[in-house]
Amino acid sequence: MSKKILLVEDNEAISGVIETILEEYYEILVTRGYQDSVGILEVEDPAVAIIDLYLANNDRGTAILAWIRQKKKSNMPVILISGEHKILQDIRESGQYDFAAYLEKPLDYKEFIATVKELAG
């Protein structure tokens, strides 16, 4: 059985590309926001979570990350993705959130795949 990856991305075009790239290696669990993500995390145990920072309906990727750290698995590797480089940099520098990697959109897919493989095994 392949390892599972949680992908939280509200843009269907981006999630479709990511899913296509990763499905060769992993089972991809795609969600669009906070409630769906929590629902999946309550019953699944993904190896890695890939979370977009800004989601529809004012959902924030950081809220999902906080839920993972508080309720699920404090050691689950999380990759944050966003088109907002400054926000990613500010979050990293703040030290407020515990995540394994952050990648800027548009994604460099070679770097992205290497990062996921490194974290998921």
The third-level CATH classification (topology) of the domain covering 4-120 is Rossmann fold (3.40.50)
* % pLDDT > 90, the chain: 72
pLDDT at 64: 94
Q: Name the β-bridge partners of 56.
A: none
pLDDT at 84: 84
Q: Name the β-bridge partners of 60.
A: 54
pLDDT in tens, 25-61: 999 999 999 999 999 999 999 999 999 998 988 788 9
Domain extents for the chain? 4-120
State the average pLDDT over residues 92-101. Answer: 85
Q: What strands, in cross-sheet order, belong to the sheet with 101-104?
A: 27-31, 4-8, 48-52, 78-82, 101-104
Task: Name the pTM for this structure.
Answer: 0.93
